Amino acid sequence: MIFNCELCKGLMGEMNIKDKIRSCVVISGKVQGVCFRIETKRVAERFKVFGWVKNNRDGTVEAVFEGKIKDVTSVIEWCKKGPPHSRVVKVDVGQDAYSGEYEGFDIRFG
């Protein structure tokens, strides 16, 4: 279906945003030095989830995921297990308003 009027396009855009979420996640346990970031990137890209992942100085891994609710949920569920050599102890998940600011998924440093 093609919508040509500006009002219809705006309404369709709002519907799409309602189907999307932003989750901020902090993963604790043995999650550094086990390829957690690169594997998170791989999984996020497979589910077409955008955002970033990084190591924190306190030994945790932090990530922001944006995308369709079911896809973001799938990536978070994967984070609860992690890659083979990790040992996830805790996953804290916060929700925020979807922003659409990311165009891909990045590994951040520093």
Q: Which residues are catalytic?
A: 37, 55
Best CA proximity match to 22, nearest among 58, 88, 61, 75: 75
End-to-end CA distance of the chain: 45
Best CA proximity match to 70, nearest among 91, 43, 53, 49: 49
Residue with tokens 């297990």: 81
